[in-house]
Amino acid sequence: MSRSKAIVLMAAGLGTRMKSDVSKVLHPVAGRPMIFYPIRTAIELDAEKIVVVLGHQRERIEAYLKFAFPNAPIQIVIQAQQLGTAHAVLCAKDALAGFEGDVFILSGDVPALPTDVIEELDSAGRSAVVSVLGMNLHKPGAYGRLITDGDGALKAITEARDCTPEQRAVTIVNAGVYRADAKFLFASLQQIGTDNAQNEYYLTDIVADAVKRQLSVSMTVLEGDDAGLAEGVNDRLGLARAEARMQDRLRRDAMLSGVTLIDPTTVVLHDGVKIGPDTTIEPNVSLLGKTEIGSGCFIEQGCRISDTSVGDNCHIKANCHIEKTSVESSCQVGPFARLREGTSLGTGVKVGNFVETKKARFDDGAKASHLSYIGDAHVGASANIGAGTITCNYDGYRKFKTEIGANAFIGSDTQLVAPVKVGDGAIVAAGSTVTKDVPSDALALSRMAQTNKDGWAEKKRRLEQSRES
């Protein structure tokens, strides 16, 4: 039977190498602050308690956690002074008073580490009092080394600054992820000292303490491409590497679920985006936020779609920008369309090239095919909006609504001055400015009568030629 689990998440660091006014753990990876991912892992592990150790910008981080995880068993503790990793975990002692089970220690700046790696660490070291996650790196750099005995058993973790030349040659390094028996963990932390190059309390010393007490210690090592999954983000270069790893994972998952990506490396996906099978996505497409794309869709190159739902069998043509919009099945959008917040397209709607919408509802089968602005409007079923039509929704102070009835026909270059209603089946002649309601099945015509002056153009040309001479 599995033991009870608690999580201690370390997120108190200053993150000075990010050179940013934003806390390091709030920098986004695949559309979410990087601290989101270890918290989600903790929830997926079914942790009874999640203790987050904060320091720098703790108010901002705590506010985000309350917003993103309102029902999670998260408790915030403060590390007022940065005295080392052991001290950070020790700050969680009171929050875990009386807890019996395993404590998993994670970092808030390791967004790309999947939950199954933590589960492997747990199962591989089930009988150990301490389990450590390692990475086998070609260039171990400043990472602490996992030092083993002649039989390959872990006996200590030595920070890079404290390594001998022989130890520095070790390529298996500490990933900073641990599982430890709660009782042993806090008893060991109490007696850790600062006899090291940085004069800090090292969490890594719990391994040597366990070995000294002749308690079981285990390690799980990530090899090859997987080794980078546990890399922490310390600067913008690390942030870019974490983003690249997350994008690779999201694209892979999409393709394995039946989505065709013509040029996968150019597609940007946010964590949480959903795409149905048999959808094809061309290069340079970004699907962001809480976006859901249905089955059998075709999204052409250059589109940016955020916080939007798209139904089945839709065709989004090239270079469309769509945000906070609902698109039902069998719609055609673009090219070069911009659908803004509050737009809703019913089944079989067509919104064509260089059409902009905002807070506009198009009922089934409605069309606005060319060069129009439709804002704060309701367009009825099968209505047709001619090229160059504008809903004049703003008077400089307030916004007003335009109502266009089912099967209405709005001629090209029409201005609909809101608030105004065009009834079902009505026709508005091209070039009209509509300021009054149009009854159902009526014709609205506001153009001035045309006057032709014979020979006027020829006289004008002669006059101008005479001036030039």
Exposed/middle/buried for residue 281 (C-beta within 10 Å: 0-12, 13-18, 19+): buried
Q: Which of 56, 315, 321, 370 is catalytic?
A: 370
User: Could you report the per-residue pLDDT of 395-416, keeping only the tens digit for each?
Assistant: 999 999 999 999 999 999 999 9
For residue 140, cis peptide bond before it (omega within 30 degrees of 0): no
**Which residue ranges does the chain devote to CATH 2.160.10.10?**
236-444
Q: Does residue 88 surpass a pLDDT of 80?
A: yes
Work out the average pLDDT over 68-97: 95
Are 35 and 61 in contact, with CB atoms under 8 Å apart? yes
**3-state secondary structure string across 201-234:** CCCCHHHHHHHHCCCCEEEEEECHHHHHHHCCCC
- What is the C-alpha separation between 142 and 80, in angstroms, rounded? 26
User: Could you report the per-residue pLDDT of 142-187, keeping only the tens digit for each?
Assistant: 899 999 998 889 999 999 999 999 999 999 999 999 999 999 999 9
User: Could you report the per-residue pLDDT of 283-333, keeping only the tens digit for each?
Assistant: 999 999 999 999 999 999 999 999 999 999 999 999 999 999 999 999 999
The DSSP annotation for 343-381 comes to: -EE-TT-EEEET-EEEEEEE-TT-EEEES-EEEEEEE-T
- Amino acid letter at 148? T
CA 144-147-150 angle, 5° bins: 165
Are 50 and 72 in contact, with CB atoms under 8 Å apart? yes
Q: Which residues contact 15 (CB under 8 A, 6 or more apart)?
A: 23, 24, 25, 56, 109, 234
Q: Does residue 197 surpass a pLDDT of 80?
A: no
Residue with more model confidence, 90 or 127: 90
Mean pLDDT, all residues of the chain: 95
In Å, how far are 101, 102, 405, 424 from 38, measured between CA atoms? 19, 16, 51, 55
Are 283 and 300 in contact, with CB atoms under 8 Å apart? no
Question: What's the pLDDT band for 200 if we cut at 50, 70, 90?
Answer: confident
**Which residue ranges does the chain devote to CATH 3.90.550.10?**
5-230
Q: Which CATH class is domain 236-444?
A: mainly beta
Q: List the alpha helices (DSSP H) in 284-417.
A: none
Q: What is the pLDDT of residue 94?
A: 96
- What is the C-alpha separation between 269 and 306, in angstroms, rounded? 10
User: Could you report the per-residue pLDDT of 358-389, keeping only the tens digit for each?
Assistant: 999 999 999 999 999 999 999 999 999 999 99
Q: What is the pLDDT of residue 352?
A: 98
Q: Does residue 114 surpass a pLDDT of 70?
A: yes
Establish whether 27 is a catalytic residue.
no
- Which CATH architecture describes the domain 5-230? Alpha-Beta Complex (3.90)
Q: What is the pLDDT of residue 199?
A: 82
Among candidate residues 157, 161, 265, the one with its CA nearest the CA of residue 207? 157
